[in-house]
Structure 1
């Protein structure tokens, strides 16, 4: 399997266990034990996915995530301690795609890895409409680029997926549970905040006034939908 995963954590035993378990599933696994080493390896190697601990020596996980995002859209799963602010982890400044709270079940981590990699593979091979033009939005589905009023918008992988799904189905209301299943590809054990965080960040990037959204609207008590102006 030509899939390489980078594990970044300063807990040597945890890294050893994860590495062994993932290698048993056929993944090629690399490891880094502090933020500086993680950035060095992320800049030199081409990883399919990065598992990144929030609390790291030298450079913390949020800064590592932010620096990686400046150059790459590689999927990042953040490992966090209980009580960490999910808004920051999945936020505008950092752009992690997913998170797990320690201690976690290795089977759940593997399920999330498989879902992310499966979506990435589908995106690479899917043949279809490349450009979606809707109002002031231009969505390049293959290049995964978005412009609003001619301005490039820097979206994380999940933000792009959400916008593409909603904009491709104007007027259709998706429940948060449906969005979790479609975009994340697995049951999220009831943590619907993930959808809310991504929707809020997406609004901050594409709406002229995120507190009075024009495009991504809330159907109270149900979910979210995209409303074109035209």
Structure 2
């Protein structure tokens, strides 16, 4: 089965170069020069992976990456002409899976695409395992006045509903299913749908920071050199 790849770049030469190269490698390649065309292509067919330039006219690539991630689990590789660390960090926080910096080697980009698609296939297996594990538990897990509803994927604190992203819910569920245990970042990555193998540590740290902002920060204990521990006493 050929994968569908969407190249979003305002430079026609770059789009043509990527389209020609990846089609020779057996991919179906679609093109867009801005956010509007990207959404037209994205909504018209199933897209497996998006190569998204950061510097686009109109809505920039970082904003598009964030919206893509909120709507879909599609693979996202950011392409940027800047080599500043802050851009890379922001891009990953926006939901991108990987990034490349212009000028890039086509062969390197091909390897990154193959690796990401391979990791996505592993994620589907991991998601299935997590669902099966959750199904074996009662619907609710209670800890420190919080109630995590597994089937509805909701978190409540008294009468307050705390909104969680998919990645935040999966990470919190992994912690709640393994309380008082030190979980390595690698193990936490296996329990979630996030896919970027190259930035495991950074990705997990970002999600945990967001959970600390939404819940009691003391619930998530950093164990230096090993990972994280969920300190709550869990009922469920």
With the shorter chain as reference, the TM-score category is 0.7 to 0.9
**TM-score, normalised with respect to structure 1:** 0.72
Residues 218 and 224 in structure 1, CA contact (< 8 A), matched pair in contact too: yes
Greater Rg by CA: 2
Other-structure match for 2:31: 31
Equivalent position to 1:137, from 148, 160, 167: 148
Other-structure match for 1:102: 101
Closer, same or farther in 2 for the Cα pair 1:29/1:171, shift >3 Å? farther
Residues 50 and 74 in structure 1, CA contact (< 8 A), matched pair in contact too: yes
Shift of 1:153: 2.2
Other-structure match for 2:232: 228
Matched, 1:60 2:82: no
Other-structure match for 1:147: 155
Structure with greater helix percent: 2
Question: 1:3-27: per-residue Cα shift (whole Å, max 9, x none)?
Answer: 4332222244443444345445544
Cα distance in 1 for residues equivalent to 2:129 and 2:18: 29
Which 5+ residue runs of structure 1 have no aligned equivalent? Answer: none
Residues 82 and 101 in structure 1, CA contact (< 8 A), matched pair in contact too: no
Other-structure match for 1:40: 40
Cα distance in 1 for residues equivalent to 2:168 and 2:79: 20
Which 5+ residue runs of structure 2 have no aligned equivalent? Answer: none
Cα distance in 2 for residues equivalent to 1:175 and 1:17: 41
Shift of 1:200: 1.2
Other-structure match for 1:113: 117
Residues 181 and 187 in structure 1, CA contact (< 8 A), matched pair in contact too: no
SS at match of 2:150: strand
CA RMSD, Structure 1 to Structure 2 (Å) = 3.4
